[in-house]
Amino acid sequence: MKKIIMFGICGKMGKSISGELIKEEEIELIGGFDIINTGADIGELLTGKKTGYRIHGSYEDIKKLNPDIIIDFTTADSAKKNINWAIENNINIIVGTTGLRKEDLSEIESRALQSVSKTLIVPNFSIGAAVMVRICGMISKYFDDCEIIEMHHDKKKDAPSGTSLYTAEEISHGGNFSGFRLKDGETETIKGSRGGFTGGIHIHSVRLPGLLAHQQVIFGTKGQTLSIKHDSIDRSSFYPGVILAIRNLDRLSGFTFGLDKLIDI
């Protein structure tokens, strides 16, 4: 039986994933962590029925509960603190929170590699998105250029999305794209029209009510384009990836980034 605590349990993702975890037989959700509703029974939040397990607001309380795994769906600033605390206290942590900066990730990686606990960071838990990242990395060498359009709900705080940055990184390992955001003679009538730019790849971020999480990767070469598109239309799309991560955490090394590392293609 794996004892799990959900950080950010009162948020959209924390609540949705916890609502599924609570039904699993091999998992015991022994509490939550949040800045709101502290002291409340997690069951009242998730199902309306009391469980005897509570939402906590302090690290000391979490330590006393001795969880096997923490899952984090909070904010980037909070996640950074939570990860460092989990590593210092030798507690395994699976992080779904996005918006962590590259510098933060490298710092976390070096700390995690010296720890006995496991740190798994997954900017997108949907299996379809993980497959998309893997395929994009495999085919980029066949194309001259690539642009990414990512579209999310209007409450998303960070842009571009963690998934688009990760996809761009994987693509740029295999491709040999331009080092310049604007090509010779290219201009922008409105600044930013050509989007963000990383590793030779333009990223365009759309934020609208009605959307959840969507990404289209468009590769181009002479006379043809290839588009790969993934849509998460419901938060339930993230749950199979979370369970996959929980079940496979023990076989990973100290630090792992991306669900694609758990997918066999």
What 81-88 contacts at long range (C-beta under 8 Å, 24+ apart), as own/partner pairs, is 82/7, 82/33, 83/108, 83/112, 83/119, 83/121, 84/108, 84/111, 85/59, 86/117, 86/119, 87/111, 87/112, 87/115, 87/117, 87/119
Cβ distance to ligand NAD smaller for residue 16 or 115? 16
Cβ distance to ligand NAD smaller for residue 10 or 148? 10
Catalytically annotated residue among 2, 56, 80, 152: 152
C-alpha distances out from residue 146 to 17, 21, 142, 149, 194, Å = 33, 38, 11, 10, 13
- Using CB under 6 A, pick the residue from 1, 12, 188, 227 that binds ligand NAD: 12
Q: How far is the CB of 28 from ligand NAD (least distance, A)?
A: 21
Cβ distance to ligand NAD smaller for residue 79 or 201? 79
Q: Is position 156 annotated as part of the catalytic site?
A: yes
Q: How far is the CB of 15 from ligand NAD (least distance, A)?
A: 8
Query: Rule CB under 6 A: which of 103-162 touch ligand NAD?
Result: 122-125, 156
Amino acid at 179: G
Q: Is position 173 annotated as part of the catalytic site?
A: no
Q: How far is the CB of 129 from ligand NAD (least distance, A)?
A: 8
- How many chain residues bind ligand NAD (CB under 6 A)? 25
Cβ distance to ligand NAD smaller for residue 123 or 200? 123
257 forms part of the interface with ligand NAD (CB under 6 A):
no
Amino acid at 102: K
Which residue of this chain has its Cβ atom nearest to ligand NAD in the complex?
A: 11
Cβ distance to ligand NAD smaller for residue 143 or 237? 237
- Using CB under 6 A, pick the residue from 29, 30, 32, 33 that binds ligand NAD: 33
238 forms part of the interface with ligand NAD (CB under 6 A):
yes
**How far is Cα 239 from Cα 18, in angstroms, rounded to an integer?**
9
Residue 121, beta-bridge partner list: 95, 257
**How far is Cα 71 from Cα 125, in angstroms, rounded to an integer?**
12
233 forms part of the interface with ligand NAD (CB under 6 A):
no
* Structural element, H or E, at residue 82: helix 76-88
Reference 116, options 254, 222, 216, 16; nearest CA is 254
**Interacting stretch for ligand NAD, rule CB under 6 A, among 61-69, 97-105, 142-150, 165-173?**
97-105
**How far is Cα 9 from Cα 90, in angstroms, rounded to an integer?**
21
Write down the number of H helices and E strands in the chain: 8, 12
Q: Assign residue 115 a region (left: φ > 0; alpha: ψ between -120 and 50; beta: otherwise).
A: beta
- Catalytic residue numbers read 152, 156
Q: Which residues contribute to the site for ligand NAD (CB under 6 A)?
A: 7-8, 10-14, 33-36, 73-75, 78, 96-99, 122-125, 156, 238
